[in-house]
Amino acid sequence: KPDLEIAMRAEPYKIPAEGTVEYQYFVIDPGFTEEKWIKAAQVIPGNRSVVHHAIVFIRPPDDQPFRGVGWLTAYVPGQRMIPMPPGHARRVPAGSRLVFQMHYTTNGTEQEDLSKVGVIFADPAKVTEEVITLIGIDQEFEIPPQAENHEVKGRVRWMPKDGKLLAIAPHMHVRGKSFEMSAEKPDGSTTLLNVPQYDFNWQHSYVLSEPVPLSEITNLNFTATFDNSEKNPFNPDPTQWVNWGDQTWEEMAVVFLEVSDPLKKSEEKSGDSLQARMKRRQARNDSTPVEDVLSEADRRARIEEQVQKFVNDFFDRLDTNHDGVLMRSEAPVALRTRFGQYDHNNDQAADRSELEAIARRRFDR
């Protein structure tokens, strides 16, 4: 039994009898006045006949540092809740909102839905590993008509160096045929997951038999293969070019990774922090004070370099029309749920100054 059940809104949402229902987003305040750690969460669909899938994201306050895509839990065909290992939990900062992303499919009669999420809290004193969800994604593909084996390749762009990979959840739509994920290491490449027959109606999160240390990995790459030919019995129209989109007849090339990150980092365990290394250097050469090495000007310069790299990478990846502004409509689906974190003036666009302010808070800690 959950410690708390949170409804997506006060009143049920009405689903029409026919037609396409665009993704619906409902933002709810769970009333968390202090930081919470959640060790289990499960979506409780209100009406399974029309709820195709539901994802619940964490939207932290704008001034709170937060990593990953903000994933809390999801309900998708074929997927079950995966219990976390002892000592593992997701962090929810005080003042966070929950965002329900709801995908409805019509069934011929008007329906209503009031889905919920149930959560079980962890004792903060017993949490040793923070669980976050990372994403690998490619949105720039075009699948030609009649293509039987069209490959789309992507990679995960950031990993916590002290973390461990726990689980892999690929996501495509009805043209998805197979999926493979590999890890690049200094001594070569290793296959982590191979799904030779992907099934949109039975989507799994694959828990690794042994967690994989990310410190040994230089890159995480994936290949999503699509069948847009007449041989695919689920293909709605093999004569069409297919691009990225939310709806089932469009496509996605995404992988979600469950990663644990220790609360006590390796440099804390070994004492090998930047300050510790510089103090050892000073011990070898007392003529160079630590204060000079870590001068405020140098520190600020390093932070600004990190800020500009973060912002440049952000716009290079996501600003598809290269106008220096990321519109909410351009953003990946997972990012739209917490777009307010980047869009401080709520004009449905994030510009460079807004991203720089976020990055400075992130790196100046």
CATH at residue 189: 2.60.120.230
For residue 271, tell me if it sits in a domain: no
Q: What is the pLDDT along the chain (365 residues), one digit of tens a residue?
A: 899 999 999 999 999 999 989 889 999 999 999 999 999 999 999 999 999 999 999 999 987 778 888 899 999 876 777 788 999 999 999 999 999 999 999 999 999 999 999 999 999 999 999 999 999 999 889 999 999 999 999 999 888 989 999 999 999 999 999 999 999 998 899 999 999 999 988 888 899 999 999 998 999 999 999 999 999 999 999 999 999 988 889 999 999 999 999 998 765 554 554 454 444 344 434 433 433 433 555 666 777 778 888 888 888 878 888 888 888 887 776 566 567 777 777 788 888 888 888 777 766 65
Can you give the three-state secondary structure of the chain, one letter per residue?
Answer: CCCEEEECCCCCEEECCCCECCCEEEEECCCCCCCEEEEEEEEECCCCCCEEEEEEEEECCCCCCCCCCCEEEEECCCCCCCCCCCCEEEEECCCCEEEEEEEEECCCCCEEECCEEEEEECCHHHCCEEEEEEEEECCCCCECCCCCCEEEEEEECCCCCCCEEEEEEEECCCCEEEEEEEEEECCEEEEEEEECCCCCCCCCCEEEEEEEEHHHCCEEEEEEEECCCCCCCCCCCCCCCECECCCCCCECCEEEEEEEEECCCHHHHHCCCHHHHHHHHHHHCCCCCHHHHCCHHHHHHHHHHHHHHHHHHHHHHHCCCCCCEEEHHHCCHHHHCCHHHCCCCCCCEEEHHHHHHHHHHHHCC
- Count the Cβ atoms, other than its own, within 10 Å of residue 350: 27
Give yes or no: residues 13 and 107 share one domain: yes
Residue 178: domain span: 133-262
Query: How big is the CA angle at 19 (ends 14 and 25), to the nearest 5 degrees?
Result: 50
For residue 231, tell me if it sits in a domain: yes
Q: CA–CA separation, 148 vs 216, rounded Å?
A: 35
For residue 312, tell me if it sits in a domain: yes
By the 8 A CB rule, do 16 and 106 touch?
Answer: yes
Give yes or no: residues 59 and 78 share one domain: yes
For residue 316, tell me if it sits in a domain: yes
Give yes or no: residues 94 and 42 share one domain: yes
Q: CA–CA separation, 173 vs 250, rounded Å?
A: 7
Give yes or no: residues 233 and 299 share one domain: no
For residue 90, tell me if it sits in a domain: yes
pTM above 0.75, yes or no: no
Which amino acid is residue 173, in one-letter code?
H
Give yes or no: residues 139 and 246 share one domain: yes
Give yes or no: residues 112 and 144 share one domain: no
**Total number of domains in the chain:** 3
